[in-house]
Amino acid sequence: MSLVLHDYELDADCYTVRLFLSILGIPAEMIAVDVYPGHEQRSPAYLALNPRGSLPILVAGNLVLTEAEAILCYLARSEAAGAAFLPDEAAAFGAVMSWLFFARGPLGAATAARLTAMLEAPGDADMLERQARAAFRVMEDHMTARHLSGASWFVGDGPTLADIALFPPIVLSRDFGIDHDEYPALRRWMRRMRTIPGFITMPGIPDYH
Amino acid sequence: MNLVEGWYAVAIADDIEPGTSAGTRLFDRELVVWRDLAGVSHVWEDRCPHRGMRLSFGFVRGNHIACLYHGWAYDTAGQCRAIPAHPDLAVPETIKVATYHSVEAGGLILVHSSLGAEALPPPAPAPTGHALRSLYVDLAPDVVAERLLQDFTARDDGSYAGTLAGAPVLVFLQPFTATRTGLHLVLAGPGDAVAVSAASEALRNAFEASPTALEAAE
């Protein structure tokens, strides 16, 4: 089935989907949406496609999917190469889903902080930064324990949707003024993310490292 | 509390892998900690002399670190050796990054906080143990030191000795900024690394929940 991704290059959630598509080696037609300054995602035509007025939007035949984490889950089930990224086994499945909800919940402050800093989205920058740091600390403590246990990824023995969904907000955190100085375990993990075959960057993520 | 210029741990040595760099702060000054591909670590002022970009954002190639902005590359002495925009230029000796004195000991990277100072006293003998992790507390360094002294004992090497999860530990304090403090945790005897690490998080959280000894006593 041919895939169409309605995409904005500077959007972290769109990057999440582009990253997973690239890792899966799945081609998709990319349609660039003028989010800034045009707010095209809230135009009548786009609201007809996605009443939430958000990106990314994945169109697969008659199926229209929104929310990056839901699109990740769909691709993990619809594409054979995606199966390992969303394990069937109950405990691992639950752990991955827990991190996906974390990405959309507490870690959403980081995405919002970035949009406030870069694209003039409304928001309380100080509060969002505090919330983002609190979420990053949860991730840092988790990956510290994982490292001390000899593990390399958020869940299980290989990369999962948890890693894909959690990566963009922290790797892009310098866009809103949070350095990686306090996150040695996340620095190690972010370098490891770059070793996944098919890994791609976006503006704000150096190709060099 | 006696947080003066001197030797401080700024990173767990294993957390700075060969060919990588990281930023940190000491008394609010920005430092870059990086390790060349030969395995030697370096601690410098985190500032490219060209445009002031943090070198910790840059990348390590061989035994040089290069700035992310324009690729100016510095050798292990901090001397600029290459400017990509002027490939034929003999780079002047004056283009040099300010460097700190640093040593690796006991699984830690220790740096003397006096930039470029000469005739420094050597650091105290390094502890033996397993350097576990770094963690950062959203409190002033002197407040964290005061809290540590409630349950830990100050040692000559600047660390604090105590017990976490039933295991002997040493905590090295890093005055990060006026409002943040780094802690570098060394397991000094037998113990469960994961449990000790979790106990250090609980300690951090308790400090932040009750920042002063006075409040804790109430």
Task: Return the pLDDT at B121.
Answer: 74
Residues B138, B183: one domain?
yes
Residue B206 lies in a domain: yes
Of B57, B83, B112, which residue is a domain's last?
B112
Give this complex's ipTM. 0.93
CATH number (domain holding residue B94): 2.102.10.10
A145 at B interface, C-beta within 8 A: yes
Q: State which CATH number among 3.30.365.10, 1.20.1050.10, 3.40.50.300, 3.30.1370.100 fits the domain covering A86-193.
A: 1.20.1050.10
CATH 3.40.30.10 in chain A: give the residue spans.
Answer: 3-82
Distance CA A7, CA A4 (A): 9
Task: Tell me how far the alpha carbon of residue A118 is from its chain's centroid.
Answer: 17
Distance CA A146, CA A155 (A): 9
Distance CA B63, CA B37 (A): 6
Residue B60 lies in a domain: yes
Q: Which of B57, B139, B169, B208 to mutate to test the interface with A (most CBs of A within 10 A)?
A: B57
Q: How confident is the model at residue A153 (pLDDT cuts 50, 70, 90)?
A: very high
Instruction: Count up the domains in chain B and report the number.
Output: 2
Of B12, B23, B58, which is closest to A181 when you measure between CB atoms? Answer: B23
β-bridge pairing B102-105 and B108-112: antiparallel
Residues B88, B137: one domain?
no
Of B65, B81, B112, which residue is a domain's last?
B112
Domain that holds residue B144: 130-217
Mark yes or no for CB contact A181/B198 under 8 Å.
no
Residue B119 lies in a domain: no
Distance CA B40, CA B104 (A): 9
**What residues have CB less than 8 Å from B15, skipping those under 6 apart?**
A184, A185, A187, A188, B22, B134
- CA A208 to chain B, closest CA, distance in angstroms equals 6
Crossing angle of helices A161-171 and A90-104, rounded to 10°:
20
CB A162 within 8 A of CB A96: yes
β-bridge pairing A3-7 and A29-32: parallel
Structure confidence by residue, pLDDT tens digits, A69-125: 999 999 999 999 999 999 999 999 999 999 999 999 999 999 999 999 998 888 999
Distance CA A42, CA A90 (A): 38
Q: How confident is the model at residue A1 (pLDDT cuts 50, 70, 90)?
A: confident
CATH number (domain holding residue B192): 3.30.310.220
pTM of the model: 0.94
- Per-residue pLDDT at B217 exceeds 80: no
Determine what percent of chain A is predicted with pLDDT higher than 70. Answer: 99
What's the CATH class of domain A3-82?
A: alpha beta
**Worst-scoring range by mean pLDDT, A61-65, A162-166, B157-161?**
B157-161
CB atoms closer than 10 angstroms to residue A109:
22
- CA A152 to chain B, closest CA, distance in angstroms equals 14
